[in-house]
């Protein structure tokens, strides 16, 4: 019989604005167990974990740690009881070393002076114990995202943490880093640690976790052993209806060339070659997928085409106009729209209303002016129509985007970009970190746009499922180069794709040229 | 003969650099915790007046110095309370404090002495002693430059080391740097961010206090209206030029001390005084511009330098 490590009982949380985040939620984690907490965005997972970690209080309910009732009024209390959190956004100081970050708050002293060597020794000891390979003297700013996550885990372990809360840990990781992380989490589990794994990637839950609790609209709608469940059952619990994971799409009929990219070369500010002689075309009526392990130039390619970054050599032309020397706005006017990678930073302005965000790319148009002033009536009608059409769940058009859930924020971005009148759409990670329903909606919209409106879509995604399902044609990028082009994305299997993505294989130049 | 002039000039540079070093350190230590102290100017003014008044009352320079520092710390505490507890905007609060200090010190001076210009006639205040350095003072020329300065000048040198040690070698320094860079990271491990910010601001006040005391209790023993004359602001520029490094600030302070000293000498040369008085401030603007250009150039070299070199190499290879 497993020993119960932690139990949350009948938790109810109502925010001051009346929003009920959790209703009568109970769940428990055993020692040496990985327990998945899944649900769509806004289902109350994060709130529940904030309560457990002492960052929020709750109206009713109790928390038991190893059978003992505990009340946490701050994260400090939670840490003292062995509960640690690995935040989704890393809580690390970039210019300090791994060791300094790990011991922050419990710094070893020698004669009243910070003992750096002891900090290194402490961190190294924990890293060795759990087989984490990491240079503890390296500075945070010099290490990869995967390593940063290790540092976050080290921070919990070094404080004697027994329960790790992992808030969507794989969202920022490459597939390889994810595999590595899972190995390490399993090792921690063997050692008797308990892990709460928050995710909405069902495949990962099936692979890693022992038990699962599903939240929907703040309530527990199901739980059980992972071995007795499958992805279909889980997704049914999460959204309350069957989510179609397969997308039926009409055949693509590629037409004239919309975007022509020739020998494009780009370097980062640090001088690293990020785009190396990239050449390809985008045609009307197709979704061109760009696959690749993150950081191989896909995002840079999007930014360069959109004019956000400059380029060193080569050319880009959109609808027959070369974009050299154009401003971002001028490039947009040639017929380009973009769903950026980071919806919170570049996708929209979170402190503006839904209305302002939707209007952002067309507010200068004469259409919305009446004399010197804006035509409020016209604007409001249009915005309300889009809110309805794109099913944006908000109180009204004047609500600040900040208060929407991730999926709804993305819908605002999508609504703005897809209705801008452009015929080329760049979608960079359009469904990252959002709920299943919205994901499905966005994917369908992208396909619909190409089939019905004769538009072209460039889709960059880390989600292999997405890239294979949605794309018509598929390119693979590796170290800033295009290493493969598949004319039929649905005929590619994941293994072949993986070999190209990891740089194990590449198509000969002649073959690539023929496929452009 | 020429050398005597140089010795005197270098001595003046060190003398005039002293308050700048204190101001720069005050800027550095607050900058590290992300709460840049814009009120250095006002704090130094208040410290200068406090030092004069209390040393006159007690006839003790030690009490004067201590109260000067305490006065400045009190101001740091008031500003900290405003921006940390009642959440006013730090920079607006600091600017308001500066304005209040300029008027407030004159007002207090008028209440105590009946004069709005200077305390020189009414208050017999004390001065902080000069120190002759044993051994060094006997070295020809060098001894004349380095020895015989005010006690606070040597304290300022020591403070540079102290600030460096505090920031880079102690626990509180580590936390300050962390707070300045990623406050949410510090908060996530249960350390109180406002507390760290307060400590850093308070220390900034201590440095400003010493700087203020130097103004009114070393080479002169009176307080006069607006006697700090922008040195608090120059201290901030020094911090900026030195990239918030304590040791770098020491070096940069000498540059500005040099400008100040030059102005003092030019004054004797029958040049228009208003023009001459402009020199230290003009140097500030020029130095900030130059350092900014240097930084941009350096960045450009890193970004484009490599590619240029490679281009040349391939061209050569092609030939």
Residues 358-387 of A with CB under 8 A from B: none
- β-partners of residue B126 are none
* Structural domain containing residue A268: 253-335+424-435+453-515
Number of domains in chain A: 3
Q: How confident is the model at residue A242 (pLDDT cuts 50, 70, 90)?
A: very low
Nearest CA in chain B to A87: B188
Query: How many percent of chain B have pLDDT more than 90?
Result: 66
Is residue A42 very low, low, confident or very high in pLDDT (cuts 50, 70, 90)? low
Q: A188 and A81 in one domain?
A: yes
Residue B307 has pLDDT above 90, yes or no: no
Residues from chain A that touch B187, judged by Cβ atoms under 8 A, are 91
pLDDT at position A244, please? 47
Q: Which of B180, B185, B303, B314 to mutate to test the interface with A (most CBs of A within 10 A)?
A: B185
Q: Which residues touch B162 (CB under 8 Å, ≥6 apart)?
A: none
**Closest chain A CA to residue B310:** A271
What are the boundaries of each domain within chain B?
4-277
Considering the domain architecture, whether residues A331 and A189 belong to the same structural domain is answered as no
Same domain, A42 and A166: yes
Q: How far does the CA of residue B305 sit from the closest CA of chain A (Å)?
A: 8
Residue numbers in B near A91 (CB within 8 A): 182, 184-185, 187-189
Domain for residue A245, yes or no? no
Per-residue pLDDT tens over the stretch B16-51: 999 999 999 999 999 999 999 999 999 999 999 999
Rounded percentage of chain B residues whose pLDDT exceeds 70: 94
Q: Tell me the shortest Cα–Cα distance from B174 to chain A, in angstroms.
A: 8
Hey, what CATH topology would domain B4-277 get?
A: ABC transporter involved in vitamin B12 uptake, BtuC (1.10.3470)
Closest CA to A292 of A451, A438, A506: A506
Token readout for A194 is: 């308990």
Is residue A442 included in any domain, yes or no? no
**What pLDDT, on the 0 to 100 scale, is given for residue B317?**
56
Specify whether A458 is located in the same domain as A473: yes
CA distance B183 to chain A (A): 8
User: In the predicted model, is pLDDT for residue B1 greater than 60?
Assistant: no
pLDDT(B302) > 70: no
Q: Which residues of B touch A268 (CB under 8 A)?
A: 303
What are the chain A neighbours of B186 within 8 Å (beta carbons)? 93, 104-105
pLDDT digits (tens, 9 = 90+) for A288-322: 999 887 678 898 999 999 999 888 889 999 999 99
Are A266 and A156 members of one domain?
Answer: no
Q: At what angle do helices B246-267 and B279-300 cross, to 10 degrees?
A: 140
User: What one-character-per-residue DSSP string does A365-408 give?
Assistant: SGGGEETTEE-HHHHHHHHHHHHHHTT---SSTTSBGGGS-HHH
ipTM metric: 0.81
Question: Average pLDDT of A68-88?
Answer: 86
Work out the pLDDT band at A235, boundaries 50, 70, 90: low
Beta-carbon contacts below 8 Å between A and B? 76
Average pLDDT over residues B105-114: 93
The mean predicted confidence, pLDDT, of chain B is: 90
What is the b/e burial string over B85-111, where b = at least 16 CB atoms within 10 angstroms of the residue's CB? eeeeebeebbebbbebbbeebbebbee
- Looking at residue A301, what is its pLDDT? 94
CB contacts, 8 Å: A158 with chain B: none
Looking at A101-115, A215-229, A446-460, B209-223, which range is the least confident one? A215-229
Say whether B182 and A92 touch across the interface (CB within 8 A).
yes
Is residue B182 predicted with pLDDT exceeding 60? yes
Residues A277 and A165 in one domain: no
Nearest-CA distance B218 → chain A (Å): 34
* pLDDT at B311 > cutoff 90: no
Q: Do A348 and A264 lie in a common domain?
A: no
Residue A244 lies in a domain: no
pLDDT score recorded for residue A87: 82
The domain boundary residue, chosen from A205, A239, A273:
A239
When CB atoms are compared, the residue of B185, B191, B307 closest to A312 is B307
* C-beta neighbour count of B281 within 10 angstroms: 17
Per-residue pLDDT reduced to its tens digit, B232-291: 999 999 999 999 999 999 999 999 999 989 888 888 888 888 888 888 888 888 888 888
The reply to whether A306 falls in a domain is yes
Looking at the domain assignment, is residue A443 inside a domain?
A: no
Task: Tell me the pLDDT tens digit for each residue of A414-454.
Answer: 999 999 989 999 999 898 767 778 888 999 999 998 988 88
B182 has a chain A CB within 8 A of its CB = yes
- What the block records as the tokens of A65 is 């740690």
A53 and A154 co-located in one domain: yes
What is the pLDDT of chain A when averaged over all its residues?
87
The answer to the question of residue A381 being in a domain is yes
* Same-domain pairing of A81 and A212: yes
| Same domain? A85 vs A146 | yes
A100 in contact with B, Cβ within 8 Å = yes
pLDDT at A466: 84
In the block, tokens 């004399």 appear at A371
- For residue A440, tell me if it sits in a domain: no
Do A349 and A215 share a structural domain? no
Q: For residue A445, is it within any domain?
A: no
- List all residues of chain B from 261 to 300 with a beta carbon under 8 Å from chain A: 299
What are the pLDDT digits (tens) for B120-168?
Answer: 888 888 999 999 988 888 888 888 889 999 999 999 999 999 999 999 9
Question: For the residues B215-225, what does the mean pLDDT come to?
Answer: 92
The answer to whether the Cβ–Cβ distance between B185 and A92 falls below 8 Å is yes
Instruction: Find which of A81, A93, A94, A268 to mutate to test the B interface (most B CBs within 10 Å of its CB).
Output: A93
Q: Residue B319 — pLDDT band, cuts 50, 70, 90? A: low
Q: Which of A96, A271, A312 sits opposite B302 (nearest CB)?
A: A271
- Least Cα separation, residue B306 to chain A (angstroms): 7
- Among B175, B177, B190, the residue with its CB nearest the CB of A74 is B190
Taking alpha carbons only, the member of A43, A142, A68, A129 closest to residue A101 is A142
Q: Are residues A429 and A322 in the same domain?
A: yes
pLDDT at residue number A243: 47
Query: A239, A272, A301: which is the final residue of a domain?
Result: A239
For an interface test with A, the pick among B164, B190, B192, B304 (most A C-beta atoms closer than 10 Å) comes out as: B190
CATH number at residue A234: 3.40.50.300
* CB pair distance less than 8 Å for A104 and B302: no
């Amino acid at each position: 019989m497993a020993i119960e490590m932690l139990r949350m009982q009948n938790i109810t949380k109502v925010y001051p604005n009346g929003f009920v985040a959790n209703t009568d939620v109970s769940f428990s984690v055993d020692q040496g167990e990985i327990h998945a907490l899944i649900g769509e965005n806004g289902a109350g997972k994060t709130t529940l974990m904030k309560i457990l970690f002492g960052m929020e209080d709750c109206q009713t309910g109790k928390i038991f740690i190893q059978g003992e009732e505990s009340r946490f009024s701050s994260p400090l209390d939670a840490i003292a009881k062995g509960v640690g959190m690995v935040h989704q956004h890393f809580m690390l100081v970039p210019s300090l070393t791994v060791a300094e970050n790990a011991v922050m708050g419990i710094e070893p002293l020698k004669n009243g002076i910070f003992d750096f060597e002891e900090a290194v020794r402490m961190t190294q000891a924990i890293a060795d114990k759990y087989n984490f390979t990491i240079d503890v003297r390296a500075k945070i700013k010099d290490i990869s995202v995967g390593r940063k996550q290790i540092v976050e885990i080290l921070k919990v372990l070094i404080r004697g943490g027994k329960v790790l809360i992992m808030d969507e840990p794989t969202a920022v990781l490459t597939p390889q880093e994810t595999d590595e992380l899972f190995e390490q989490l399993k090792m921690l589990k063997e050692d008797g640690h308990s892990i709460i794994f928050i995710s909405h990637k069902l495949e990962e839950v099936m692979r890693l976790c022992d038990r699962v609790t599903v939240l929907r609209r703040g309530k527990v709608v199901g739980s059980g052993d992972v071995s007795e469940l499958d992805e279909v059952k889980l997704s049914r619990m999460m959204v309350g209806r069957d989510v179609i994971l397969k997308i039926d799409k009409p055949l693509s009929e590629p037409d004239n060339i919309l975007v022509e990219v020739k020998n494009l070369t780009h370097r980062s500010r640090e001088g690293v070659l990020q785009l190396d002689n990239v050449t390809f075309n985008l045609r009307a009526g197709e979704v061109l997928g760009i696959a690749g392990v993150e950081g191989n130039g896909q995002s840079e390619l999007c930014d360069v085409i959109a004019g956000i970054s400059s380029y060193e050599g080569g050319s880009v032309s959109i609808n027959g106009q070369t974009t050299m020397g154009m401003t971002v706005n001028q490039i947009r006017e040639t017929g380009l729209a973009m769903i950026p990678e980071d919806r919170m930073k570049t996708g929209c302005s979170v402190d503006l209303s839904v209305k302002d965000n939707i209007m952002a790319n067309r507010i200068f148009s004469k259409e919305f002016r009446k004399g010197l002033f804006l035509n409020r009536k016209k604007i409001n009608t249009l915005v309300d129509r889009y809110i309805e059409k794109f099913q944006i769940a908000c109180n009204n058009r004047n609500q600040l985007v900040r208060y929407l859930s991730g999926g709804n924020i993305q819908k605002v971005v999508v609504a703005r970009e897809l209705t801008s009148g452009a015929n080329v759409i760049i979608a960079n990670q359009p469904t990252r970190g959002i709920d299943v329903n919205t994901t499905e909606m966005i994917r369908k919209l992208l396909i619909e746009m190409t089939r019905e409106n004769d538009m072209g879509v460039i889709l960059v995604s880390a989600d292999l499922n997405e890239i294979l399902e949605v794309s018509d044609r598929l390119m693979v990028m590796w170290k800033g180069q295009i290493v493969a082009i598949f004319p039929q994305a649905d005929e590619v299997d994941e293994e072949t794709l993986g070999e190209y993505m990891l740089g194990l294989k590449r198509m000969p130049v002649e073959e690539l040229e023929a496929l452009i | 003969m020429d050398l005597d002039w140089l010795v005197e000039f270098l001595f003046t540079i060190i003398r005039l650099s002293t308050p700048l070093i204190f101001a720069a350190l005050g800027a550095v230590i607050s900058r590290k915790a992300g709460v840049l102290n814009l009120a250095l100017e006002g704090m130094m003014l208040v410290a200068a007046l406090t030092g004069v008044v209390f040393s006159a009352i007690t006839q003790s320079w030690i009490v004067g110095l201590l109260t000067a520092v305490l006065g400045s710390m009190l101001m740091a505490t008031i500003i900290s309370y405003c921006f940390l507890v009642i959440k006013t905007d730090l920079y607006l609060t600091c600017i308001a404090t500066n304005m209040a200090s300029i008027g407030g010190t004159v007002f207090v001076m008028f209440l105590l002495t009946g004069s709005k210009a200077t305390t020189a006639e009414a208050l017999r205040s004390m001065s902080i002693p000069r120190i002759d350095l044993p051994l060094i003072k006997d070295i020809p020329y060098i001894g004349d430059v380095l020895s015989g300065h005010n006690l606070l000048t040597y304290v300022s040198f020591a403070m540079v080391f102290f600030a460096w040690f505090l920031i880079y070698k102690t626990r509180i320094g580590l936390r300050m740097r962390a707070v300045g860079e990623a406050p949410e990271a510090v908060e996530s491990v249960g350390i109180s961010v406002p507390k760290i910010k307060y400590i850093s601001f308070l220390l900034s006040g201590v440095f400003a206090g010493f700087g203020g005391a130097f103004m009114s209790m070393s080479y002169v023993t009176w307080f006069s209206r607006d006697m700090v004359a922008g040195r608090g602001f120059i201290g901030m520029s020094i911090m900026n030029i030195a990239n918030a490094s304590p040791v770098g600030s020491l070096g940069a302070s000498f540059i500005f001390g040099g400008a100040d000293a030059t102005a003092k000498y030019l004054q004797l040369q029958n040049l228009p005084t208003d023009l001459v008085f402009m020199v230290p401030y003009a140097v500030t603007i020029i130095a900030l511009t130059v350092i900014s250009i240097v930084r941009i150039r350096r960045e450009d070299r890193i970004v484009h330098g490599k590619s240029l070199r490679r281009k040349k190499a391939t061209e050569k290879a092609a030939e």
